[in-house]
A and B are shown apart, each in its own frame.
Chain A
Amino acid sequence: MLLIDCPYCGKRPEIEFSYGGEAHVARPADPQALSDDAWAAYLYLRSNPKGRHAERWRHTHGCARFFNAVRDTVSDFFVTTYKVGETPPAEAWPRAAE
């Protein structure tokens, strides 16, 4: 069971949280303008990396707030957690700089 550092509440056990999938997959501003391919990419394509992964968690049984985390999917260690709207440090998640 992971130990997750909620940016609002501090470290809590995984069973208090819900996983929210990959982070920074923003809903397109105008979905109707997208091609089927582009829409399907939004719906279904995920980076699924072996390595650092930016992901969403929700502290469902705590503050109930969504937040983001960077976790290494090989070791399951968290690199950082941060609030929605914040950008992770570039050294934590190189893709943020792209």
Chain B
Amino acid sequence: MVKFFAKRILCLLLVVWIVSVLAFVMMRLAPGDAAVMALPDYASEAQIAAMRVKLGLDKPYITQYLIYLGDLLRGDLGTSVLYEKPCLDVIMERLPATLSVTIVCSIMVLIISIPLGIIAGVNKGGPIDFFAVLFALLGQSMSVVWICVLLLLLCSVKHNWLPSMGYNGLFDVKYLIMPAIAMGYKMCAGMVRMGRSGMIDVLSEDYITCAYARGMSRFEVNCKYAFKNSIIPVITLFGMDVAAMLAGAVIIETTFTIPGIGSMLVKAVSNRDYPLTQSTLVVTAAMFAVVNLVVDIVNAFIDRRMKLN
């Protein structure tokens, strides 16, 4: 167990380091000058040069990276050029909204997709299966922009059920319902599809026939054997999607005025705010790796054949 965790944490650190290198290199490769962006249009050459020195951009790339890495190891993510404050503060201001939407969305997706996918798989060819397949097909083919607009028009403009904008913390759920639906419907559709096909595959296995031969009831077979084995790919997919959600969703944040991490990252990239972009990518990569670690642990507990070591 200890070895497993040590190994995974090393992997996590490796991932974060690789992301930090990629973020650093990609930002420098992108056209545009961070010093020019930090100043008004009419800044003189001297002002631009002074800003370059202030941002440390006058140093060789390798020196810049080593300084950045050293700060990172000390827990200093740098200072945002755009916001003129520590990157960690900027990220921590934005992260709660993204986490709140992710949590509500995840709960909603779990409640809908797992039962629907499993029941559809068990009742292959039945009306529920037909509905589940249609739901998955529609869900995966509908545009996020369209869904956002539809939700706004339906739930806010037409029926006044939900507020059209804003965010007021995790526990004021009415602000999170529309963003969560918009963020989760595609994921839900994918998981229904995965759950259904997993269940159909498992139910055609020999050990299921064997369980029936031993006189077990259909309910017992489905719950005790089929469900456990079919859920593993669903959990893996869920983990990947949740991790992706933690990086934010620009369209959804923009439409519902959610102060999340996605729109902040876009702003940071388009303004060539190197410290903030790099820090955000490193933080989201770390969250991605942690979620995947949790998924692996959950999978190992569900299926004992997947030993932690």
A joins B in a complex = no
